[in-house]
Structure 1
Amino acid sequence: MTRSKFFQLLLCFFSLININLIKAQNISVDTSLNAQQLVDKFIGAQNASCITVSNVSISGWNFGGNDTSYGYFSRNGSSFEIDEGIILSTGKAKDAEGPNSTLQSNFDSNWPAGDPDLVYILSQAGLPTDNILNATYLEFDFVSLQSDKISFDYMFLSEEYRDSNCRYSDAFAFLIKEASSTDPYQNIALVPGTNTPVTSLSINGATNCPRNVDYFGGFNGLVSPTNFNGQTKVLKANATVKKGVTYHIKLVIADHGDANGLYDSAVFLKSGSFTGNINIGNDLTIDNADPLCENVPYRIQPNPIINDPSAKYTWFKNGVAITSIPPSQSYYDVVNEEGDFSVEVTLGSGCRLEGYVKIEKVPVANINTTPIQVCDNDFDGKYSAVLSDFNSQIITNFSRDFKVSYYTTSGALIDPDKEFVFTSNPQTINVSVGAFSCTPKIYPVQFYYGTQLTVNSIPVYPICDDELNGSEDVNLADYVALITNETGVTPTYFATETQAKIGGSSTISSLQTISTDKSFFIRIEKAGFCPNYKEVKFNFKKPNQSTTLPNDPITICKGATTILDAGMGFTSYDWYNEAAPTVSISNLDKITVGVGNYFVILTSPNGCSFKQSVIVEEAIEPVIDNVLIEGTTVTVLVSGGTAPYQYALDGGSYQSSNIFTNVDLGNHTVFVQDANGCSIITKDFSLINIQNIITPNHDGINDVINYSSLLTKLEPRFEIYDRNGILVFKGDVNNQFVWAGTLNGRILPTATYWYIIEWNESGNPQRTKLTGWILLKNRN
């Protein structure tokens, strides 16, 4: 054999081993058993003498061959919690075999829908009854011969277990009633200790809807013995029956809520777990208010005692057999133990009975014997306290289960909910602590007078209304360090001394607004010390304000100075320029300054200071925006500077009006001065001189029409037409708007001509228009 063939064979060998190991990690399901065989597995041969079974039937669905919705399962070497039993499914029972790698959502439209008994039970529990599909059930009659209680173990597994599912759950019930009775069924598939039916919603560990998580087994990953997404823990169904009476039981499961029977579920019933129960005592639990007292022995044993000398007993604690007890011993004595105790009794006939009891120990008090401080908390000269306030301090694990009483050393009972006045320092009080009906224990606890926190003598604090707004804010927290030298204190603030002495909830905010003399009270507390309090008084005062400094800015001419006079009556003056607010420029009542932003700190005789600001600004020169000319009327438009303005024309007298009338034709100058009188501004303008006659004879008189002043205007127009409307002259910058009575250099004949003159004045939206006639006299 070659080396490569050897390794190929070796690889195949290990692959086969691996396949078998994987299979062994999953449950196996056998769907070939009939109803009677399944019930026999469920009851167990050993219980045949305890419980008789008859009238067995099973209903579900056959998907072909033996591929049914029910069957027998075994652990098959996996970690599944039940070793063997029967499975009732809403889909294919065989698909329950692990791993959890596929979604079970089997559905057949021919499968009879629902089960009326299940629908009734759901409706009685207030659960929805819509879409009850794919029902599988096992039912039979039984008679309990040895016990008036029966029980069996089961688990519920479902594909409905998804962390995001808080709405849907498949339904199942274990229904039982007397076979001859017409009464409705009783459902015994309940969450332990409740009347709530078991569903994937009533027992769930989902993040969004956790419920009864103590009974939730967990969500299953891909590596799982079964092909379901999640499961409960092993639960126990219990029923009370009459010995010798025939009962009918129906174990039923169905799809619920999903359309087309999606997301299958199954109930796994433990083989041989359908047994009679015996009474071995009531649960001794805290919830029952009857836990086992400390150091008190308690015997667990069947009641009534089983009269069978051949009976064998196996005792368990928390599911683990107690091997130290011989099989013949019918009881178990517990002292200071707790847990879930059970016994399996095998009678001489082979019949197996079970009994269960839960025992919890009474809580034992943890006592703190450290001396306890008491204080004169309300400052009435008495050291007193409500003793029940110390329950949690004395009993470090205190709960409502403990009963606490207080006694003087002479044995007098103290009301724990009323003020108790201590008469000596220290003083011992006896504390009685017990739980439930157990005998209490007495513990001496010493109480002593605590040391009061120290406070300082403090003056009245002046509060100045610095902004002159009629009130001032104070933060009482800023005064805690002034009233005491203690560190780490917790302050509370009160409006009255009475409230400060009592303390409690009648506190005020540390932030307060005052507008008159006012007192507040600060109470201080600190662990290990007794509280104290102190009154804090505030004297509300107002500073004075200068009445000579203006509120409005002061305007001075460019390069000039002015005197700022704060007036008399202040104890100090500190002047500053805002440009250097930390550098004092004078401490006099008056200062001479130029342009700038200034402030002065004025201190009044009552010690309060006020910051008053003054602005000195440079006068802004006015600007002549426009000179509007309409005929011989001239309007001067001015902005800037300080109104009112004064106006003058050609060096004449000033007037308050900005309108000049009957202004002569020709060139002019307007003068403007603002209210500050700092400077005078001017602007030149001209009025057009209208000419109506031209005699171009070169005698120096009226030889031309001269409108060259139009060159200073905006968009000027000067045109001359003859009587027939023919343009004979058009003025422009080339001819300087001057006409010599010619057309194309040829002298025109004597006649009357017509002119048009237009222009725009700056800032005047209306265009100036002049029209009229011109008489041309020529020697020709």
Structure 2
Amino acid sequence: MKFSRFSQFLFFLLALLFIDQTKAQNISVDTSLDAQQLVNRFIGAQNASCITVSNVAISGWNFSGNNPSYGYFSKNGSTFDIDEGIILSTGIAREAEGPNNTLQSNFDRSWGGDDDLIYTLNEAGLPTDNILNATYLEFDFVSLQSDKISFDYMFLSEEYRDSNCRYSDAFAFLIKEAGTTGPYQNIALVPGTNTPVTSLSINGATNCPRNTDYFGGFNNTISPTNFNGQTRVLKASATIQKGVTYHIKLVIADHGDANGLYDSAVFLKSGSFTGNINIGKDLTLDNEDPLCEDVPYRIQPIPDLGDASAQYSWFKNGQPILGIPVSQSYYDVVNDEGNFSVKVVLSSGCTLEGNVSIEKAPVAQVDASPIQVCDNDFSGNYAAKLSSFNGRIIKNFTRDFNISYSLTSGGAPIDQDVNFVFTQNPQILYVSVGAYSCTPTVYPIQFYFGTKVNFNSVSNVDICDSEISGSETFNVSDYIQSITDETGVVATYFDTEDQAKAGGNSTISSSQTITADRSVFIRLEKSGFCPNYKEIKFLFKQPKRSSLIKDEVICKGATIDLKAETDFDYYEWSNGVEGASANEINDVPVGDYWVKLTSNDCVYQQYFKISEAEEPVIDDVLIDGTTVTILVSGGTSPYIYALDNGVYQSSNIYMNVDLGTHIIYVKGADGCSVVAKEFTLVNSQNAITPNHDGVNDVIDYSSLLSKRDPKFEVYDRNGILIFKGDTNNRFIWNGTYNDKILPTSSYWYILEWNESGNAKRVQLTGWILLKNRL
């Protein structure tokens, strides 16, 4: 598709319009003006009759292509905070034009610093290494109308980066009387300080913020200037003498970068270099002379300017005050505060400015309701330092208020810092309240005797040693509800009455451990009431145990009757029986029980156990020859013993027990049960007549079956084993060998076994006579 000539022309016009609009969003810089022209623009033609200027000079650097480090700038329809004025840069002035899309780091190795700036920074204790790339404008001037001068400026820099907390480009406005050799006075300072303006002394960086109230912000890519950040509009001012010639030097330089990186610039507002007139003193809280309520304060030139044709424009906080004729040379401030200023244009065209700061005195918020007074130290007098009521009477009380008390309206003031004794109930005092030098207002305040926090009639508190341990730990605070019906009280605890009267922090802990009676003085305080105190005696008391109630053992299936002493005040048994005379319970079976015994106003809970008697256990019967020892455990000792049907004895040893099988009986001390055990003493036989007549037909050692590891063997005279006892033959020999009848002869036998409980093995040997009559 081809464009028509008209379309091409239209596109060209739109492009030009877009370019013009884009440029209009950024400042413009003109570097064609010489030093005198720059100063003339800076001072403004309207101020020629106010200020005369001479000996103008400018110094900086001119880069290739006629690009000096200074020039004249214009807002050019952008959002920049200053309409127009002079720019002094440490780089190429024209590169200050926006947007902020390139880094300004211009440098020439032949471009040095400035000794006057270095001296000023040294005096302020700021670093002066590598002060380079200085640009300055200087001139002489005489003020014809004012003894004060000021001008507005902004400081912008590429050094404004979050990562920079080291390099500090600087600006100074140096002034001194012309022709003198003394040092300059620097009036370009961080407001309220003696610190020169640098890229570090006013900084919003995260890592090193300083004087951020005066930092204008970091600039984005659509900023009207090509700098990373800027200050707010600042004002430099100096007091001078009318008609005296002064020399001014405005100077800026790079710091620290050996290659002059990261340029900075100062923008001086055109027409802001004006004379300042006095329109009244500041009325501020810092001066302790703020504006009083309903009292007008007239601000006007002092002395009168003597120019009937002068025109006055009044401002508050930089905004015009509407409705005031330009011929009115004064403005009355009533119940208002802020920064008030006036711009005066004399008939000669000279412009003068005056400023005054006004703050309102605080207005007392008075509570005139009746006030309670207390006998806090229990001296019998209702007295207090009147100064202690200041915060109660004036809700917004600060030291800015003047307050006094008197017995009559307009009477002599009472000393607030000594105790005033109230002699009447109620009593009226006249309170005079005013802030700073403002006329005070008098308020009648009624004072009355307050009501003390109420204690109950309780004077003694029982502390029971319920475990009968000899001491008891308790917390005094747990008994506050029993000694007062008041809620919301604050209690403190003291050893002595004098301490309780004086009050303050507790002298003893709320937690107490006592072994005897203990007195504690308790002071109670409550909002809206007067304090009170009372001695509370904590009585150390102990109950007692029953010596009759103890653990009992009863026979299986039986019950028992239990009885405590009759001198307890009350009984409560765990089985539900209770009463003042219920010292006994009956038919109590096996179980765990307790009884609560009340005596001496205390309760002791005594635990006891009813157990079923345990049967004794015969662990072993030790046999050593014919001596028998019975070993018993369990049950209730001591035990008694009986052998067969004999009489019970306390000894567990029997001697000379007959051979054969016996029964031992054991009975415990509880008498509930008897246990028995059978045991055997082995018989010794030495003759056998196996003729089947029923007499001595066999050798019977079957009793060995009850023994451990028994042995019964029979040998002939030649040592041949002819019989070996075991569980199959039950240790019984019938006189045969391999089922054949043996001839009459003598045979050798061996008997061995281990008796239970006896480590020594029993061994018996001897001859058996076999008579065979068949």
TM-score in terms of structure 1 length:
0.69
Alignment partner, residue 776 of structure 1 = none
Which stretch shows the higher mean deviation, 444-453 or 118-127? Answer: 118-127
> SS where residue 171 of structure 1 aligns?
coil
Distance in 1 between the 2:682 and 2:214 partners? Answer: 113
Correspondence for 1:417 = 417
Match of 1:58 in 2: 60
Alignment of 1:370-769 (within 5 A): 370-409=369-408, 411-438=411-438, 440-453=439-452, 455=454, 458-467=457-466, 468-472=468-472, 477=477, 491-505=491-505, 512-529=512-529, 531=530, 533=532, 535=534, 537-538=536-537, 540-549=539-548, 553-556=551-554, 558-577=556-575, 588-592=582-586, 593-604=588-599, 606-618=600-612
Distance 1:34 1:569, change over 3 A: farther
Residue 343 (str. 1) matches residue 342 (str. 2): yes
* C-alpha distance in structure 2 between counterparts of 1:323 and 1:449, whole Å: 54
- 1:432 partner SS: strand
Counterpart CA distance in 2 for 1:612 and 1:216 is 82
In the aligned structure 2, how far is the partner of 1:225 from the partner of 1:737?
Answer: 129
Q: Structure 2: 5+ residue runs without aligned partners? A: 684-695, 712-724, 733-749, 766-774
8 A contact 1:24–1:77 mirrored in 2: no
- 8 Å CA contact retained: 2:56, 2:139: yes
Task: Provide the secondary structure at the position in 1 that maps to 2:139.
Answer: strand
Task: Tell whether the 8 Å contact from 1:403 to 1:434 is kept in structure 2 after alignment.
Answer: yes
Please list, as runs of the form range in 1=range in 2, the aligned pairs for 1:355-366 lying within 5 A after superposition.
355-366=354-365
Report the CA distance shift for 1:150/1:412 in structure 2 as closer, same or farther (over 3 A).
closer
Map of 2:738 onto structure 1: none
Query: In structure 1, what is the equivalent of residue 747 of structure 2?
Result: none
Per-residue deviation at 1:194?
2.2
- Judging changes above 3 Å, is the alpha-carbon distance between structure 1 residues 177 and 216 closer, same or farther for their aligned structure 2 residues? closer
CA distance in structure 1 between the partners assigned to 2:68 and 2:624 by the alignment = 115
State the 1:153 CA deviation. Answer: 2.7
Query: Could you say if the C-alpha distance between residues 506 and 209 of structure 1 is closer, same or farther in structure 2, counting changes exceeding 3 Å?
Result: farther
Shift of 1:28: 2.2
SS of alignment partner, residue 532 of structure 2: strand
Q: Deviations along 1:376-431, whole A, 9 cap, x unmatched?
A: 44444444332222222333332211222222217232112122233444443332
1:44 to 17, 38, 42: 42
Counterpart CA distance in 1 for 2:21 and 2:523 is 76
CA contact (8 A) 1:44 1:272 kept: yes
- Partner of 2:138 in structure 1? 141
The letter of the residue matching 2:570 is S
User: Is the 8 Å Cα contact of residues 549 and 614 (structure 1) preserved in structure 2?
Assistant: no
**Deviation digits for residues 15-73 of structure 1, max 9, x if unmatched?**
x99x969986996255673795799289625067435563312369x7x9799998776
In the TM superposition, what whole-angstrom CA distance separates every residue of 1:89-127 from its partner, at most 9, and x where no partner exists?
79998588457xx8x877689879996867766665456
Aligned counterparts of 1:72 and 1:688: Cα–Cα separation in 2: 142
Report what 2:745 is aligned to.
none
- CA offset digits 1:113-169 (Å, max 9, x no partner): 996867766665456x49x7796543122223215543333255777575xx8x926
> Counterpart in 2 of 1:727?
none
Q: Report the Cα distance in structure 1 between the residues aligned to 2:622 and 2:263, rounded to whole angstroms.
A: 101
Determine if contact 1:519/1:535 at 8 Å carries over to the other structure: no
Q: Distance in 2 between matches of 1:664 and 1:108?
A: 134
Query: Matched residues in 2 for 1:596 and 1:285: separation?
Result: 89
Task: After TM superposition, list the pairs within 5 Å mapping 1:286-305 onto structure 2.
Answer: 286-303=285-302
Q: Is the contact between residue 67 and residue 94 of structure 1 (CA under 8 Å) also seen in structure 2?
A: no
Identify if the C-alpha distance between structure 1 residues 373 and 703 changes in structure 2 by more than 3 Å, giving closer, same or farther. closer
Larger Rg: 2
Distance of aligned partners of 1:184 and 1:481 in 2 relative to their CA distance in 1, 3 Å threshold: same
Asked whether the 8 Å contact 1:337–1:361 carries over to 2, the reply is: yes
Q: In structure 1, what residue type is equivalent to 2:251?
A: K
CA distance in structure 2 between the aligned counterparts of 1:686 and 1:80, rounded to whole angstroms? 128
SS in 2 for 1:287: coil
Does structure 2 retain, via aligned residues, the 8 Å contact 1:647–1:672? yes
Letter in 1 for 2:152: F
The 2-side partners of 1:182 and 1:81 are apart by 37
Tell me which amino acid in the other structure corresponds to 2:573. W
Does the residue aligned with 2:582 lie in a helix, a strand or coil? Answer: coil
For 1:240-275, what per-residue CA distance to the aligned partner results, in whole angstroms no more than 9, with x for missing partners? 55641223332235468xx9999x685552431651
Distance 1:248 1:683, change over 3 A: farther
**d(CA) in 1 for partners of 2:58 and 2:641?**
127
Unaligned runs of 5+ in 1: 690-699, 718-730, 739-754, 774-780
Moved more, 645-654 or 148-157: 645-654
Taking the aligned partners of 2:464 and 2:249, their CA distance within structure 1 comes to 93
Distance, in Å, in 1 between the alignment partners of 2:111 and 2:653 is 107
Count of matched residue positions in the alignment of Structure 1 and Structure 2: 731
Give, in whole Å, the separation in 1 of the partners of 2:621 and 2:220: 96
Does the aligned pair in 2 maintain the 1:366–1:397 contact within 8 Å? Answer: yes
Q: 2:175–2:186: 8 Å Cα contact kept in structure 1?
A: no
The alpha-carbon deviation at position 287 of structure 1 amounts to 0.4
Q: Which residue of 1 aligns with 2:154?
A: 154
Tell which deviates more after alignment, 659-668 or 616-625: 659-668
Deviates more, 1:275-284 or 1:86-95: 86-95
In structure 1, C-alpha distance between the alignment counterparts of 2:75 and 2:681, rounded to whole Å: 123
Equivalent in the alignment of 1:251: 252
Which residue identity lines up with residue 248 of structure 2 in the other structure?
Y
Residue aligning to 2:715: none
Change (3 A) 1:498 1:158: farther
- State whether residues 401 and 435 of structure 1, in contact with CA within 8 Å, keep that contact through their aligned partners in structure 2: yes
Q: Verify the 8 A CA contact 2:31 2:94 in the aligned structure 1.
A: no
Alignment check: 8 A CA contact 1:70 1:88 kept: yes
CA distance 1:710–1:336, shift in 2 (3 Å): same
Shift of 1:191: 3.1
> How far apart are residue 639 of structure 1 and its match?
7.5
Deviation at 1:339, TM superposition (A): 1.6
The structural deviation recorded for 1:599 is 1.4
- The separation in 2 between residues aligned to 1:110 and 1:191, in whole angstroms, is 30
| In structure 1, C-alpha distance between the alignment counterparts of 2:640 and 2:226, rounded to whole Å | 105
**Alpha-carbon distance between aligned partners in 1 of 2:221 and 2:658, rounded to the nearest angstrom:** 112
For residues 596 and 112 of structure 2, what CA distance do their matches in structure 1 show? 94
**Identical counterparts, % of pairs:** 46
The aligned residue for residue 719 of structure 2 is none
Equivalent AA in structure 2 for residue 168 of structure 1 = C
**Distance in 2 between residues matched to 1:736 and 1:249, nearest whole Å:** 137
| CA deviation after TM superposition for structure 1 residue 548, in Å | 1.0
User: 1:571/1:301 Cα in 2 relative to 1: closer, same or farther (>3 Å)?
Assistant: closer
3-state SS of paired residue (2:44): helix
The equivalent of 2:31 in structure 1 is 33
- After superposition, give the CA deviation of every residue in 1:261-300 in whole Å (9 maximum; x if it has no partner): 99x6855524316514424144221102222344554443
SS at the partner of 2:342? strand
Flag the 1:333–1:679 CA change in 2: closer, same or farther, 3 A.
same
Which residue of structure 2 aligns with residue 723 of structure 1?
Answer: none
**Counterpart-to-counterpart distance in 2, 1:182 and 1:407:** 63
1:171 match: 168
